[in-house]
Chain A
Amino acid sequence: MKDFVAVIRGKIFLFKCRLFGKNIRIGKGLRLYKRLDVRGEGTLNIGDNCKICGITGDRKQFVTLYTLHRDARIQIGNNAGLFAARLSSRYSITVGHDVHIEASGIMDTDFHSIERSRGEPINESLESCAVTIGDGVKIGARCLVTKGVKIGECAVIGPGSVVTRSIPSSCFALGNPARVMNKK
Chain B
Amino acid sequence: MSNVSKVIRLFGSNPAGAAGLLKALLRGTFTVFYFRLFNRRVRIVFPFFMYETFRVSGPGKVFIGGSCSIYPNMFDGVSIVTLDPNAEVHIGMNCSLGGVTIRCQERIEIGDRIMAGHSLIQDCMLAECPAARPNDVVPREMPSRAIRIGRNVWVGAQSCILRGTKIGDDSVVSLGTVCYGAGIEEYQLASGNPSLRPVPITRLMRMQDIRG
- Asked if B120 and A142 sit within 8 Å, CB to CB, the answer is yes
B199 at the interface (CB under 8 A from A): no
- Partner of A176 from the list B81, B83, B101, B193 (CB cut-off 8 Å) is B193
Minimum distance in angstroms from A160 CB to a CB of chain B: 4
- Asked if B141 and A161 sit within 8 Å, CB to CB, the answer is no
- Closest B residue by C-beta to A176: B193
A151 at the interface (CB under 8 A from B): no
A58 at the interface (CB under 8 A from B): yes
- Partner of A56 from the list B57, B75, B141, B142 (CB cut-off 8 Å) is B57
- Asked if A159 and B125 sit within 8 Å, CB to CB, the answer is yes
Question: In the bound complex, how far is the Cα of B125 from the Cα of A184, in angstroms?
Answer: 14
- Closest B residue by C-beta to A84: B128
Tell me which of B79, B125, B162 has the highest count of chain A C-beta atoms within 10 A of its own C-beta: B125
Tell me which of B75, B126, B178 has the highest count of chain A C-beta atoms within 10 A of its own C-beta: B126
Task: Note all chain B residues with C-beta closer than 8 A to A163.
Answer: none
- Partner of B127 from the list A56, A156, A162 (CB cut-off 8 Å) is A56
Minimum distance in angstroms from A151 CB to a CB of chain B: 15
- Closest A residue by C-beta to B139: A138
A135-178 to B contact mask, C-beta < 8 Å, 1/0: 00010111000000000000010111110000000001011100
- Asked if A158 and B162 sit within 8 Å, CB to CB, the answer is yes
Main SS class of interface, A: loop
Q: How many A residues face the partner with a CB closer than 8 A?
A: 26
Q: How many B residues face the partner with a CB closer than 8 A?
A: 27
Task: Note all chain B residues with C-beta closer than 8 A to A140.
Answer: 125-126
- Asked if B126 and A100 sit within 8 Å, CB to CB, the answer is yes
A36-58 to B contact mask, C-beta < 8 Å, 1/0: 00000000000000000101111
- Asked if A58 and B126 sit within 8 Å, CB to CB, the answer is no
Question: In the bound complex, how far is the Cα of B140 from the Cα of A184, in angstroms?
Answer: 10
Question: In the bound complex, how far is the Cα of B76 from the Cα of A57, in angstroms?
Answer: 11
> Which positions 142-195 of chain B face chain A at CB distance < 8 Å?
142, 160, 162, 178, 180, 193-194
Tell me which of B76, B80, B162, B194 has the highest count of chain A C-beta atoms within 10 A of its own C-beta: B194
Question: In the bound complex, how far is the Cα of B176 from the Cα of A30, in angstroms?
Answer: 36
- Asked if B180 and A158 sit within 8 Å, CB to CB, the answer is yes
A108 at the interface (CB under 8 A from B): no
B30-63 to A contact mask, C-beta < 8 Å, 1/0: 0000000000000000000000000101100000
Tell me which of A83, A159, A162, A174 has the highest count of chain B C-beta atoms within 10 A of its own C-beta: A159
- Asked if B128 and A156 sit within 8 Å, CB to CB, the answer is no
Minimum distance in angstroms from A50 CB to a CB of chain B: 14
